[in-house]
Structure 1
């Protein structure tokens, strides 16, 4: 029998599973997750209580779609899989498109280690696409997602914080570094792949202060393989580019932030009428 056009408009399996995977309603009881409130009942609905009891098998965290992260990681090993995640999708009220990959990135902060590892592996595979490196670093701002699990509780000085995304240091001593060495390896390999895509990518990573996070991570790294990969990244980030003077990579970052500070000061002076007036003492305002 011929199917009508409307009957054939069904969501493909991959998109359906991805939507389920990203839906917090399907995740219960992971420590630190926002979905724990879903388990609260008013005591009057026995059917709901029974359903939740059945869902929590052996009192273990219930996340039926957690292993889809491994499917995504395997899928993105090939170009077609990467294209699926990187394809721009538009809605009627959107001026700029978004991708499934961008929706996936927050999973790197998931309380579920299976999701974190799969997401890290997917990021690593997407970084294989050299043509997307500029978009990944400058539009998606991928470095902050890669570096977040590698950042730890160490206290950073003012110079080290300059240029770092606030998420990487605002948690202070409460920040915990990723405990799974495989996940850390995927993330460091992602940085290494981005470094290998060209000078512009390395300059972006330098401006994002990637070296600062890698330096502290390497000090406490227990895995020899991860440490070796970190050192390869550092060699890329710290070395001077071909055809430039000695110390040019450090000078590039320093000069870039000097320009940013100068532009910021000039902007304040324009808004403040040239900066001749001193800032008011707001402590005396009622």
Structure 2
């Protein structure tokens, strides 16, 4: 059987698309984890990439090329790579700059039929810190034209499953930073699933898995810098008012899709590891604030209501407590439900703990009803680990503060050591294979 499957590998390069499709269909089931003949895809690979003159390893190169093929072939090629990149050795071979540029250009394009699969593959690849670093600086070539969707076309997205516009745009071509374009595509994809009429959808993919990509990126210092640095919302409108990129996505903590909610929660948590950003993260949108040493001010991110809403239930509060709550948390409907995913609930509580790192952050939470919400959440919590984290949060919020600034400074250092030991920090150099998507 192993020899027969190896013979099929050569047909992935056949000139006849039907032959390529049939061979890939037969090979795809063997790409899943623990498949008995999966080793045929791994022969000749090493951590630095493909071994010279190792023909069997050419299958990874072939699969990358097939991602640009006709729809059915590209679909199976994407799925095969998603399955295979649960191992770092394959992920290293797939993460070259040229293929990353294609993946990103492809998923940005609103007409990319398989953009969700591209996002899943990128989610696997971005587990590695070097890929996150590449994504933070990656630029994609675009042609600005009012005749195409969103006003620009990513030239490297052209493939069998994403045809070029007709007529081909003749506008100005430039290389633009990819992350802001990915973020806009992610925001645009949030409502795609709710639009039943396919012709009215702004893009063909929901891109929920980009939340995992952004969470991985936000676990690195350059990634946090991107989300916490004001920039104009659109490269085609350089004079528009600046905003923090993180502010675009915080509302997704209440999205229907679990992947999007969980990824967004992790993005916020990872950004909260930057203690200097806490004032920016907590400040309401109605106020402008800058993140030192930068002097560029933008509307606050106002993250607190989006952390508390998933933890809030239908409880009624007395008038005094009600007045402390932020407006979005007042008079919640009787059918309001808490976040059902315990991992996401824990992530939100951990973020609130991180936002207690400064005196200003603790005071802000005290003044805006955090205790009232988490007290009710604690009464209804069934997971011991989450309850323990809530109790630590209550201790930080409800205890008295020192009067001396000098004592406060020492306490901050002590608190951060004690508190951060209970909150898992993002590992920038981690290539955790458990974070990867398997078997689709």
* TM-score computed with the length of structure 1 as normaliser: 0.68
Select 1:110's aligned residue among 242, 245, 255.
Answer: 255
Q: Judging changes above 3 Å, is the alpha-carbon distance between structure 1 residues 12 and 162 closer, same or farther for their aligned structure 2 residues?
A: same
Residues 1:38 and 2:212 are matched in the alignment: no
Name stretches of at least 5 consecutive residues in structure 1 with no aligned partner. 29-34, 42-47, 56-62, 245-286
Q: Which aligned pairs between 1:7-26 and structure 2 lie closer than 5 A? A: 9-24=174-189
Check whether the contact 1:89–1:97 (CA below 8 A) recurs between aligned residues: yes
Check whether the contact 1:20–1:26 (CA below 8 A) recurs between aligned residues: no
Which residue number in structure 2 is paired with residue 60 of structure 1?
none
Query: Structure 1, residues 244-265: CA drift from partner, whole Å, max 9, x if none?
Result: 8xxxxxxxxxxxxxxxxxxxxx
Query: Structure 1, residues 203-235: CA drift from partner, whole Å, max 9, x if none?
Result: 011111100010000111111111111111100
1:93, CA displacement in angstroms? 5.5
Residues 1:170 and 2:335 are matched in the alignment: no
Residues 1:119 and 2:264 are matched in the alignment: yes
Q: Judging changes above 3 Å, is the alpha-carbon distance between structure 1 residues 88 and 109 closer, same or farther for their aligned structure 2 residues?
A: same
Which residue number in structure 1 is paired with residue 227 of structure 2?
85
Select 1:67's aligned residue among 204, 209, 220.
Answer: 209
Q: Judging changes above 3 Å, is the alpha-carbon distance between structure 1 residues 25 and 228 closer, same or farther for their aligned structure 2 residues?
A: closer
Q: Judging changes above 3 Å, is the alpha-carbon distance between structure 1 residues 40 and 152 closer, same or farther for their aligned structure 2 residues?
A: farther
Query: Structure 1, residues 32-82: CA drift from partner, whole Å, max 9, x if none?
Result: xxx3343489xxxxxx9xxx9xx8xxxxxxx54111111111111111011
SS at match of 2:175: coil
1:24, CA displacement in angstroms? 3.6
1:5, CA displacement in angstroms? 12
1:92, CA displacement in angstroms? 5.2
- Paired residues, what number? 215
Name stretches of at least 5 consecutive residues in structure 2 with no aligned partner. 1-140, 144-171, 284-299, 405-440
Check whether the contact 1:105–1:119 (CA below 8 A) recurs between aligned residues: yes
Which residue number in structure 2 is paired with residue 150 of structure 1?
311
Check whether the contact 2:316–2:331 (CA below 8 A) recurs between aligned residues: no
Misfit runs of 4+, over 3 Å: 4-8, 37-41, 91-94
1:131, CA displacement in angstroms? 0.9
Q: What is the rounded CA distance, in whole Å, between the counterparts of 2:230 and 2:403 in structure 1?
A: 37
Which residue number in structure 2 is paired with residue 283 of structure 1?
none
SS at match of 1:10: strand
Q: What is the rounded CA distance, in whole Å, between the counterparts of 1:151 and 1:5 in structure 2?
A: 43
Which residue number in structure 1 is paired with residue 418 of structure 2?
none
Q: Which aligned pairs between 1:223-242 and structure 2 lie closer than 5 A? A: 223-242=383-402
Q: What is the rounded CA distance, in whole Å, between the counterparts of 1:18 and 1:157 in structure 2?
A: 40
Decide which structure has greater helix share.
1
Q: What is the rounded CA distance, in whole Å, between the counterparts of 1:235 and 1:181 in structure 2?
A: 22
Q: Judging changes above 3 Å, is the alpha-carbon distance between structure 1 residues 177 and 75 closer, same or farther for their aligned structure 2 residues?
A: same
Select 1:27's aligned residue among 192, 206, 215.
Answer: 192
Q: Judging changes above 3 Å, is the alpha-carbon distance between structure 1 residues 235 and 10 closer, same or farther for their aligned structure 2 residues?
A: same
Q: What is the rounded CA distance, in whole Å, between the counterparts of 1:135 and 1:64 in structure 2?
A: 29
1:192, CA displacement in angstroms? 0.2
1:169, CA displacement in angstroms? 2.9
Q: What is the rounded CA distance, in whole Å, between the counterparts of 1:102 and 1:238 in structure 2?
A: 28
Q: Judging changes above 3 Å, is the alpha-carbon distance between structure 1 residues 25 and 238 closer, same or farther for their aligned structure 2 residues?
A: closer
Which residue number in structure 1 is paired with residue 14 of structure 2?
none
Q: What is the rounded CA distance, in whole Å, between the counterparts of 2:323 and 2:343 in structure 1?
A: 29
Decide which structure has greater strand share.
2
SS at match of 2:338: coil
Q: What is the rounded CA distance, in whole Å, between the counterparts of 1:209 and 1:232 in structure 2?
A: 16
